[in-house]
Structure 1
Amino acid sequence: MPRKWTGCKTRWPGWAKQAMPLVLATQAPGEPEIFASVQGEGPSAGSPCTFVRLSRCNLACVWCDTAYTWHFAGDDRPHRSGETFARKANQLTLDEADVAARIAGLGQDRLIVTGGEPLLQASALSRMLERLACLLPNLTVEVETNGTTTAPPALDARIDQYNVSPKLAHSGNDPAAAILPDRMAAYAAEPRAFFKFVCASPADVDEAAALVRRFGIPPARVFLMPEGTASETLRAREEWLVPLCLEHGFRLSDRLHIHLFGDTRGT
């Protein structure tokens, strides 16, 4: 459905309430991961944008390249690196007005809200986007999500595009927690939602294709993306992903930021 709210209300009632904090990831101690770059993945790849990375996630992918958003000391969920992160150094809490001002200051007309799982902070995110609409009235908003939760109406009205990345078996998550039929069906029926499946082997493509058939997802809204944090790995996997995209009618997503900047924060 189209966005239901696009304007700016300078006397928005919610603003009079107590500030609502957002928990962000950091790109350096005390510095929130809010930065301008080009989108590296999915349907908007190559587009100039601002990224804001929120902390916290309800899933735990063993190959996650942003484990500093959730794999904190004391968390016994597995990650292939074996590394855990100090929460104090990797999380920063800011109120929604501060976050909106930082995003607006970068001057881009496209925002990518990523994580972690951003929809875990739906209320605060909605409040922040209310403020941001007055500062950047022509802003396009994309939200990246693992597809296990949906946005409440107030937030959904402010989102132009969902980049949904359901987690396949090789992620190490319990399928019962990672693939929720009602949420998958809701996103499949949502024309603003694009699906991005991370693939490390042809078997992952088979699993993705089965989900596409099960939920009736239009193939033109499906991307296959190689798993990996090095250009060599991505290129090797793209060689066998291309013919599988042709076979199924799916689209290929590269990871431009890895080729341009490597596996680094704030890029």
Structure 2
Amino acid sequence: MSLRHFETAPGPVDSGSARAAPAGPVLTVTGLRAGYGPIQVLHGLDLEIAAGEVHAIIGGNGAGKTTLLRAISGLIQPSAGSIDFCGNELAGRSPAEIVDCGVGHAPEGHRVFRGLTVEENLRLGAFRRPGKTRASVNSALAEIFEFFPKLSERRRQLAGTLSGGEQQMCAIGRALMTAPKLLIIDELSLGLAPIIVEELLHILSKIHAAGTTLLLVEQDVSVALGFSDRATVVSSGQVALRGPARDLLADPQIITTYLGG
């Protein structure tokens, strides 16, 4: 299938996922412009994420993928455009307010509080958990340890002494402690061995099955498209392509451009 068969302009959510058809959009980004000071990175980008799906963002270095995630999470403020999440406008809100709306973010680089224990990192994630009580936080912590048994084993260990894969688990677990409806993960596999990435994907499939919508930016395109329902290709701060992930993975031009085949 060639690129011309895929959608190249804003449109409705694609069907044909390997999973059951998802519900309506949970996130709608329209005409988003954002960057850093005078440097504009996103140029009127549009994106739609369906509730209950796994959606991948792929593209070359400097395409604007991380900038998009940072704008959704409030880590940078867009200069124009709309970010609608479950009926709430996120553009202009602080990161804390966006967490309150139900967006969790595990940023690039396995970022943890290195001088705190694993459990302390996770409990910090519950600081803005809606309706939190001691019992609900403890219950959420037990659920995270069920998803990530390695974190349970290392709960008293300083996060800075964990392996890269364990730090990624800790960062994802901390984001989950906010009770997100949408979990954003930036560069899941960065610096990790394939066997660790496979383990993380297995855990994420369980998290998704438990009801969390996932949005992934992933450098390994074969991993991203193999795991996702739908995908969006970003180039030069705009959407170049989008469609069912399995169709994109089968496209010769995607293979040539991103997989070296």
Q: TM-score, normalised by structure 1?
A: 0.31
